Structure 1
Amino acid sequence: MTDLLLATRNPGKLVELRRMLDSAQIAGIRVLGLADLPPFPEEPETGATFAENALAKARDAAKATGLASVADDSGLAVDALGGMPGVLSARWSGRHGDDRANLELVLGQLADVPDERRGAAFVCAAALVVPGGEDIVVHGEWTGRLIREPRGTNGFGYDPIFVSDGEDRTSAELAPEEKDALSHRGRAMRALLPHLQALTGR
């Protein structure tokens, strides 16, 4: 059995990543989260890109634990805000992880933006670092638009105001399996699956 560390303290992300790996039915891998291991110093996210942050988190985790580690960094890029909040998505309001405050700030900043100019995309970079092996970074993007009032109770972050292309429901109104099939994180994780399969030596 090969241990794989999902290096996140975001419970929503951990649930999603575990669910995706389970659905892929990759045998021989036991998925661990940071809460399953003794704490270690975690460097702040100072990268200018999602890829830099994901790779830094995965490298820190692999170095501290000796385990193959996956980390992701993701966020919302809003056309009318010049691609922001981007890597600052989780702390856009000034308080890290305050989903409601972040969402309300974005809605306030877009209050005068007409519907046809409210395009946005969720972007994800996922990194796999194997001690003594090759570092791998993959990307996923999910395009859509932002609505004016939150809807739905699934998901987290900006999900209640994001409607993907071809959908009428927000990301927070999708069933978990539907979201996994469409989302930026789902796309990135599927791109990692062959590399995770290779960890088992099969």
Structure 2
Amino acid sequence: MKHNYLIAILPPPELSQQIDEIRKACSEKYKIYKALRPPVHITLLFLKNLDDTFEPQLINSLEAARNFSPFTQELENYDAFVRNEVVFIKAIINKEITTLYRNIKKILGDAAKEPRSQITPHITIAYRDLKDQFPQIYTEYKNKSFEASFPVDHFTLLKHDRIRWNILRDYVAKPGDQQSELNI
């Protein structure tokens, strides 16, 4: 059987709850619900339709990505991917998240199938089922402010069971272990 996997940074529970309230308010106001399905997260990599037989290798391979130093992730205001009609909270790009993203891509090799060389970190507020509401939602959120920061000392592997996303494993940072960071 094939499943989707998500390698992500999950904010701490208090911040996740605060952002989830923002998602719920948008969802209720505009009658859109798809953004509520995954947990509040910053996507590092999305792995689509991987065979179950790959799962043990995926879990083990990601151990090598634990060699990052903990860092602070800042969130600031709202923005959108206009072409894809996605409204989100901006996660400020930094060297640490870029290095973590590139290390994971390198470790997973062909399994990553990720065409992007750069990460665009963000936390989605609304997407996929927007239909005609996108301009109105984006207009509402683009001038709102939001600021927060949180420590990142781990990333998480999640698996979709065709109903919901489930945490498979957290990978806690072990600075200096295993392979060295990529040079940016």
- TM-score, with normalisation over the residues of structure 2? 0.25
Using the size of structure 1 for normalisation, the TM-score is 0.24
Judging by fraction of residues, say which structure has more strand: 2
